[in-house]
Amino acid sequence: MRNEAGKTPSPPDETGDAAGSSFTRLLLPQTLGLNAFLALGFIAAATAWNVSWLTVILILLAFIGARNAGHAFNQIVDRRFDALNPRTSTRPLVTGSMSVRTAAIVVVLNVAILFAAAWFLNWLVFLLAPVALALVLGYSYAKRVTAWTTVLLGLVQAMIPAGVYLATKEALPLPALAAGFAVIFFGTAFESVHSLGDLESDRKLGFRSLPLLLGPRRSVPAIGVFLAISLSLFGLFGYLAPLKSTFFVALAGMAIVAAWEVRLLWRGVQSPEGGSQPRGLENAGFPLIANLAIGALFFAGVMLGLYFVL
């Protein structure tokens, strides 16, 4: 039996090193750092660490459960499309190194982790957990019907500050709203960068994305605008939190990294003609490094902004 790429998948090998590698490619732990830094930063800003470690662990478990369920579910429903995209053609459900049944078990277990953690946090978080799950899983189908999938991913990531404040304050005060909108624009920019790297495959598969709608040369300025709005809202968050002036030094560092990212993107779209594939965006490494740096600077800025002043 051949997959959509014309290759015969190997029988699933789910023992030893092969299993570990398969789970790594299924759950993509290399993408965890950015959101973990954001989550820890928002916990610190919301509570000044006047919170139990059990609550911190439960928040992280809820976040990780939702994230892992979304990643695994996406690879289940997209496996025949992933086979046709060079960037995703080595995913375990495409190569046959993991069975769909195993991936489905991963989804169920992580959904259980999400709901269990939400239950022990508070009734409001538990009540809203199905909404979070619907957003996380619904993202997998959005690119089939709308070019605004990037905004939906931003909304998914905005659950991080919303979840933190609901778990620790049982409310969404002004800092939480500013943070939520900041992350929506940040997540929209992040996913748009990924979509730039998938232009050719998305076009062939009939998927929709903002870069396909705008074209690569108009997408890069749009990404720059999204990042600028996001950074401005992060600044508003720092003012409302309130954080000391040292937070804004870190915010300036975030802006420098974002400007570097946009500059590299602009260089990458200069040579293509029309809607062809930009250079240098065929893998996820470039945006991950930039956005991991931004996340780390945000966390460092919050910590500095809580305890130090210039």
pLDDT (tens digit, 9 = 90+) per residue, 86-122? 778 888 888 888 899 999 999 999 999 999 999 999 9
Average pLDDT over residues 112-136: 96
- pLDDT number for residue 246: 97
Contacts of 207 (CB under 8 A, 6+ apart): 81, 143, 144, 198, 201
- If one compares 28 and 192, the residue with the highest pLDDT of the two is 192
- Domain annotation covers residue 181: yes
- pLDDT number for residue 128: 95
Query: What gap in Å lies between CA 65 and CA 114, rounded to an integer?
Result: 5
- pLDDT number for residue 281: 57
Reported as a pLDDT band with limits 50, 70 and 90, residue 275 is: very low
Query: Three-class SS of residue 122?
Result: coil
| Structural domain harbouring 254 | 16-307
- Domain annotation covers residue 2: no
- pLDDT number for residue 25: 64
- Domain annotation covers residue 205: yes
Average pLDDT over residues 127-148: 89
- pLDDT number for residue 286: 67
* pLDDT > 70: percent of the chain: 85
Averaged confidence pLDDT in the chain:
86
pLDDT per position as a tens digit, 8-56: 454 555 444 455 577 666 666 656 767 889 999 999 999 999 999 999 9
Long-range contacts of residues 26-32, Cβ cutoff 8 Å, at least 24 apart: 26/71, 26/72, 26/75, 26/91, 26/92, 26/93, 26/98, 26/103, 26/106, 27/68, 27/71, 27/72, 27/106, 28/71, 30/288, 31/284, 31/288, 32/64, 32/67
Average pLDDT over residues 142-161: 89
- Domain annotation covers residue 211: yes
Number of domains in the chain: 1
Reported as a pLDDT band with limits 50, 70 and 90, residue 4 is: very low
Alpha-carbon dihedral angle through residues 17, 19, 20, 21, given to the nearest 10 degrees: 90
Question: Of 162, 234, 156, which Cα lies nearest the Cα of 191?
Answer: 156
- Domain annotation covers residue 1: no
Query: What gap in Å lies between CA 289 and CA 34, rounded to an integer?
Result: 9
Whichever domain contains 100, its CATH number is: 1.10.357.140
- pLDDT number for residue 285: 61
- Domain annotation covers residue 288: yes
What pTM was computed for the model?
0.87
Reported as a pLDDT band with limits 50, 70 and 90, residue 173 is: very high
- If one compares 199 and 30, the residue with the highest pLDDT of the two is 199
- Domain annotation covers residue 11: no
For CA atoms 239, 177, 166, 251, the dihedral sign is: negative
Q: Inform me whether the pLDDT recorded for 210 exceeds 70.
A: yes
- Domain annotation covers residue 142: yes
- pLDDT number for residue 233: 98
- pLDDT number for residue 30: 55
Question: Of 32, 44, 295, which Cα lies nearest the Cα of 165?
Answer: 44
Average pLDDT over residues 209-219: 87
Q: Inform me whether the pLDDT recorded for 207 exceeds 90.
A: no
